């Protein structure tokens, strides 16, 4: 072939041949020789061996670490066991408890009839509890009180031992208690820590008819007879009322407080309580004393009391009624016809609705408002009106369940305007 | 003089009775409680460490720290059981509590040592807790009506109920952890 086409083809073939030769030459030079291949395999084998050794070492480390972790866990558990089982303090301290309560009052009361004023601040009660467990079944409890802050000649205060008893479990839910104890009557007498009741001062019915705080020496049985039904039965020392003077046959001044007290005539008190519904307590109690004057006038006396204490949600209701009946005795100048006639019957009652609510969102704690109507009569045996009335309205504020601030306004009406003290009271109390 | 003689006689009778008295206040053993809680087959106990994350919540509920480093509990299928103690007025009350999926399923007083307030052990009181959960401020989502004269026992029981709900939420059996 001749011409341009033939020339072009020839050149192309020459170029292609040159390229193929070059490629073949590179291939021949890049392919490893068998010796080189052997060397490569040797190096790879060495790498594999090294990795295998490292893996085994890592696995061994993991095994050692796991063992150490397990050992450490065991040591930590053993240490925790040892710490938790180390006795904390002496054994008597573990079995001994301290508690208490207190209340500071401010009273601002006026009597328009007599023109007298009471503008007074008083640390009314400072109380310490001490309790001790001898064993799981034998225990001791006491309550020591300082009233009105200061004692001594000419001072208003007193140091009083209000409880000091030993108790032991006899059978399941039945206990025996011996010593000096609170009389199981009413609402306030058994439970009188300030955060547990409304009003700065205790209500006048459970002051003048049930002489709260009322304690005697004796021996009692306490227990449960059915779910929600509880009983108390106590044989104890009795009251000793005056037989002459302004306090003749009055109940409250008749407390001997177990201080070298006459023990000629004791008394028996029984109480049944029903608490079988949440928030409810129904209580009934009775007392008999063969001679309220401890041999001076032969006056036997009975006390009957009943109460309800109910709280559902924020709503609360307390109501109580109590009555003493005293016979005339042997002297002819007894409570019916003696120096203060009419004291053969002494009674009182009160009712106290309340509402307690949370203050969350405003300030911490709870606020409770209440109103209480009280009526009582220590000379009810005479034909004329001798009863006294008192209305209390106020609030409690609990910033913590065991701390309370109180305010109330009181208005008294009575057999005589000379007895009407009206005004307001402030208080702060605590328990622990 | 009849009264002192009567007292003396009763004191002697008391001493005689006490010599034959039985232990009281134990209403159920923890073992029986756990058997009831887990249909006769309680699981192996687990332990919850009281760490720094848990301590503030416990202190807020009990108003004191727990006196242990960790608590033993029993858990299975979203249900945990706790045996807890808290002092009422003077003495510890031992309580068994079962929590299921964040709510109280059962609460039972196992040992009651206080001098009063033993009514808290009855179902008419403890049934109030059934179904309760923790609401705002680690409070129960409902009011618990108390027992007159047993305020501190009621308060102690309410505290351990709240505590068990808190502990359950930090356990390995809380919702979302299984």
Does residue A210 sit in the same domain as residue A80? no
Helix, coil or strand: residue A346: strand
- Mean pLDDT, rounded, for A166-178: 90
Q: How many residues does chain A have?
A: 432
B155 within a domain of the structure (yes/no)? yes
Alpha-carbon gap, residue A153 to A159, rounded angstroms? 13
- Examine the domain organization and report whether A61 and A110 are in the same domain: no
**B115:A277 CB<8 A:** no
Per-residue pLDDT of chain B (178 residues; tens, 9 = 90+): 455 666 666 666 655 555 444 445 788 999 999 999 999 999 999 999 999 999 999 999 999 998 888 999 999 999 999 999 998 887 889 999 999 999 999 999 999 888 778 889 999 999 999 999 998 889 999 989 988 878 889 999 999 999 999 999 999 998 767 6
Q: Which domain holds residue A59?
A: 35-86
The verdict on A134 and A248 lying in the same domain is yes
Q: How far is CA A206 from the centre of its chain?
A: 22
Please report which residue ranges of B20-150 form alpha helices under DSSP H: 30-37, 55-62, 123-126
B17 neighbourhood in chain A, CB within 8 Å: 170, 176
Same domain as A275, residue A145: yes
Does A112 lie in the same domain as A252? yes
Which residues from B are below 8 Å from A279, CB to CB?
Answer: 145-148
Total domain count, chain A:
2
DSSP β-bridge partners for residue A236: A218, A267
The structural domain count of chain B equals 1
Evaluate whether ipTM surpasses 0.95. no
Query: Roughly what angle, to the nearest 10 degrees, separates helices B55-62 and B151-169?
Result: 160
Q: What is the enclosing helix (H) or strand (E) of A90?
A: none
A406: CATH:
2.40.160.10
Query: Would the CB atoms of A313 and B118 count as touching at under 8 Å?
Result: no
Half-sphere exposure at residue A276, Cβ-oriented, CA atoms within 13 angstroms:
10
Is A8 a member of any domain? no
Chain B residues whose beta carbon lies within 8 Å of the beta carbon of residue A169? 21, 23-25
The Cα–Cα gap between A332 and A226 comes to 46
Mutate which: A169, A271, A275, vs B, most B CBs within 10 A: A275
A20 assigned to some structural domain: no
Q: Are residues A243 and A376 in the same domain?
A: yes
The Cα–Cα gap between B40 and A358 comes to 42
Residue A335 forms part of a structural domain: yes
On whether residue A29 sits in a domain, the answer given is no
Grouping H, G, I as helix, E, B as strand and the rest as coil, residue B56 is helix
Same domain, A161 and A72: no
Structural domain boundaries, residue B131:
25-169
Q: Are residues A66 and A131 in the same domain?
A: no
Q: Which residue of B17, B115, B125 is in closest CB contact with A278?
A: B125
**Interchain CB contact of A245 with B (< 8 Å):** no
Residue A44 and residue A160 in one domain:
no
Q: Contact A169/B69, CB-based, under 8 Å? A: no
Cβ atoms < 10 Å from Cβ of A249: 32
Chain A 195-214, residues with CB within 8 Å of chain B CB atoms = 196
Residue A130 located in a structural domain: yes
**Nearest alpha carbon to residue A266 among B13, B6, B11:** B6
Q: What residues of chain A lie within 8 A of the CB of B145, using their CB?
A: 278-279, 311-313
Give A117-181 as a DSSP string.
EEEEEEEEEEEEEEEEESSSSEEEEEEEEEESS--STT-S-EEEEEEEEEEEEEETTEEEEEEEE
Domain presence at residue B63: yes
| Report field, pTM of the whole predicted structure over 0.95 | no
Q: What is the pLDDT of residues A219-260, one digit of tens each?
A: 999 999 999 999 999 999 999 999 999 999 999 999 999 999
Identify the CA nearest to A187 among candidates A251, A277, A280: A280
Last residue in a domain, options A48, A68, A86: A86
Answer yes or no: do A285 and A260 share one domain. yes
Of the residues B1, B2, B3, the best mutation for testing chain A's interface (the one with the most A CB atoms within 10 Å of its CB) is: B3
Tokens found for residue B174 = 């809380």
Confirm whether A27 is domain-assigned.
no
Please indicate, yes or no, if residue A113 is contained in any of the structural domains: yes
User: Looking at the partner chain, which of A97, A170, A228 has a beta carbon nearest the beta carbon of B17?
Assistant: A170
Together in a domain, A74 and A198: no
């Amino acid at each position: 072939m001749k011409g341009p086409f033939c020339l072009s083809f020839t050149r192309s073939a020459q170029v292609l041949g040159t390229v193929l030769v070059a490629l073949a030459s590179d291939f021949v030079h890049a392919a490893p020789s068998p010796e080189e291949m052997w060397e490569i395999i040797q190096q790879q084998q060495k790498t594999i061996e090294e990795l295998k050794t490292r893996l085994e070492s890592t696995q061994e480390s993991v095994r050692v670490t796991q063992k150490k972790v397990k050992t450490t866990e065991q040591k930590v558990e053993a240490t925790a066991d040892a710490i938790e089982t180390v006795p904390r303090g002496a054994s008597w301290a573990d079995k001994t408890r301290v508690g208490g309560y207190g209340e500071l009052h401010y009273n601002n009361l006026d009597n328009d009839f007599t023109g007298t004023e009471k503008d007074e601040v008083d640390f009314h009660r400072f109380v310490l509890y001490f309790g001790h467990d001898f064993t799981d079944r034998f225990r001791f409890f006491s309550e020591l009180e300082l009233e009105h802050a200061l004692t001594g000649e000419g001072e208003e205060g007193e140091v009083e031992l209000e409880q000091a008893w030993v108790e032991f479990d006899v059978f399941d839910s039945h206990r025996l208690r011996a010593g000096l104890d609170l009389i199981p009557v009413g609402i306030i007498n058994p439970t009188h820590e300030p955060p547990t009741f409304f009003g700065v001062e205790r209500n006048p019915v459970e002051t003048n008819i049930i002489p709260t705080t009322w304690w005697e020496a004796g021996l009692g049985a306490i227990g449960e007879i059915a779910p929600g039904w509880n009983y108390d039965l106590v044989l104890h020392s009795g009251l000793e009322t005056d037989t002459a003077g302004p306090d003749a046959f009055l109940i409250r001044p008749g407390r001997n407080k177990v201080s070298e007290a006459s023990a000629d005539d004791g008394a028996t008190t029984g109480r049944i309580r029903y608490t079988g519904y949440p928030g409810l307590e129904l209580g009934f109690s009775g007392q008999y004393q063969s001679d309220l004057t401890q041999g001076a006038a032969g006056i036997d006396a009975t006390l009957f009391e009943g109460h309800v204490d109910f709280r559902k949600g924020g709503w609360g209701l307390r109501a109580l009624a109590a009555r003493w009946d005293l016979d005339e005795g042997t002297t002819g100048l007894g409570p019916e016809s003696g120096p203060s006639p009419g004291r053969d019957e002494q009674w009182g009652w009160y009712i106290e609705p309340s509402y307690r609510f949370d203050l969350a969102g405003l300030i911490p704690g709870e606020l409770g408002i209440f109103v209480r109507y009280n009526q009582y009569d220590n000379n009810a045996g005479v034909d004329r009106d001798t009863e006294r009335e008192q209305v209390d309205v106020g609030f409690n504020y609990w910033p913590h369940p065991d701390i309370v601030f109180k305010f109330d306004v009181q208005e008294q009406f009575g057999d005589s305007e000379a007895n009407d003290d009206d005004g307001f009271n402030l208080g702060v109390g605590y328990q622990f | 003089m009849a009264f002192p003689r009567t007292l003396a006689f009763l004191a002697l009778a008391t001493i005689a009775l006490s010599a034959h008295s039985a232990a009281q206040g134990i209403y159920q053993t923890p073992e029986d409680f756990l058997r009831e809680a887990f249909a006769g087959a309680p699981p192996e106990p687990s332990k919850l460490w009281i760490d720094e994350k848990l301590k503030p919540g416990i202190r807020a509920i009990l108003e004191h720290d727990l006196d242990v480093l960790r608590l033993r509990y029993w858990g299975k299928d979203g249900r945990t059981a706790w045996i807890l103690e808290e002092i009422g007025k003077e003495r510890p009350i031992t309580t068994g509590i079962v929590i299921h999926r964040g709510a109280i399923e059962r609460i039972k007083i196992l040992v009651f040592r206080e001098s009063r307030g033993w009514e808290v052990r009855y179902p008419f009181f403890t049934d109030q807790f059934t179904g309760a959960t923790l609401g705002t401020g680690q409070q129960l989502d409902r009011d618990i009506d108390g027992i007159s004269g047993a305020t501190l026992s009621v308060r102690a029981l309410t505290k351990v109920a709240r505590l068990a709900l808190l502990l359950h939420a930090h356990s390995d059996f809380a919702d979302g952890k299984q």
